[in-house]
Amino acid sequence: MELFIIFISAALVNNFVLAYFLGICPFVGVSNKLSSAISMGMATTFVMVLTAIVSWLLYNLILIPYSLDFLQIPSFILVIAALVQFVEMVIKRVSQPLYRALGIFLPLITTNCAILGLALFGSMREYSFAENVVFGVGAGAGFTLALIIMAGIREELDLADVPKPFRGAPITLIVAGILALAFMGFAGMI
């Protein structure tokens, strides 16, 4: 039950993009086409789950026992960078089609604050291992959902007559604001 609440909270109620503003850069940058939004969402979710696993192990098995928690930020960011590099290599070896679909998004993920945010939130809230993994899955699902909804809206928005100074980023942010309002409807579910 507790795990289910964590999932719903991360995916809907406290959506990483719309409530915590994590991962705004790819959200504004990649959300103009539905197909790339799906790929980006999937790649991010994948890295998020891996980060949740690795950062938990790193934090609870190394940093805390040796009271090195002041190294948390540098070690997390290095682990994430290494992880992304590793995932890229593995995907390249294992499946060429998958690499072509996700490959170009992977380097972007290192600087996606949603990933580091996930690792930091997880350690801050003192989640157990299972909780942290579920948190990672939920956050990834929420990120993908927000990205896909946004991409769907933006494909329609291209046909709309938006005042010239507001085209691009400004209107995207305004639409995101309206989406954030809509997502507030999920509050109270937990």
Partner 1 sequence: MNKVTQMLLVLTSIGILAGGLLAMVSDWASPLIAANKKAETEAAIFRVQSEGKSYEKIKNAGFEVYKVMSENSLVIGYALVYEGNGFQGKIRLICGLTEDLEKIKSMEILEQVETPGLGTKVTEIPFTDQFKMLQTSPMVNMVKGVPPEDPNEIQAITGATISSKAVVEIINNGIAQMKKLRDAGGLK
Partner 2 sequence: MKKQVSLSKEYLKGVWENNPILIQLLGLCPTLAVTVSAINGLAMGLAATFVLVMSSLLISSIRKIIPNQIRIASFIVIIATFVTVVDLVMKAKFPDLSKALGPFIPLIVVNCVILGRQEAFASKNNPGRAFLDAVGMGTGFTIALLVLGGIREIIGSRTFFGLQVLPDQYEPWLIMILPAGAFLTLGLLLGISNMYTDRKKRTEHESIIAHYKRVGREDIAEQLEVK
The least distance separating partner 2 from the CB of residue 10, rounded to whole angstroms, comes to 14
* Rounded-to-integer distance, Cα 42 and Cα 38, Å: 6
Per-residue tokens: 48 = 């998020």
182 binds partner 1 (CB under 8 A): no
- 59-78 residues near partner 1, rule: CB under 8 A: 70-71, 74
9 binds partner 1 (CB under 8 A): yes
Judged by CB, which is closer to partner 2: 152, or 177? 177
Judged by CB, which is closer to partner 2: 53, or 108? 108
* Rounded-to-integer distance, Cα 84 and Cα 158, Å: 33
Judged by CB, which is closer to partner 2: 101, or 157? 157
145 binds partner 2 (CB under 8 A): no
- Please tell me the count of residues contacting partner 1 according to CB under 8 A: 11
157 binds partner 1 (CB under 8 A): no
Binding mask 43-82 for partner 2 (x = CB under 8 A): ---------------------------xxxxx--xx--x-
Per-residue tokens: 120 = 């930091």
12 binds partner 2 (CB under 8 A): no
CB proximity list for 82: less than 8 A, separation 6 or greater: none
82 binds partner 1 (CB under 8 A): no
Interacting residues toward partner 2 by CB under 8 A? 18-25, 28, 70-74, 77-78, 81, 111-113, 116-117, 120-121, 124, 163-166, 169-174, 176-178, 180-181, 184
Residues in contact with partner 1 by the rule CB under 8 A: 5, 9, 13-14, 70-71, 74, 184, 187-188, 190
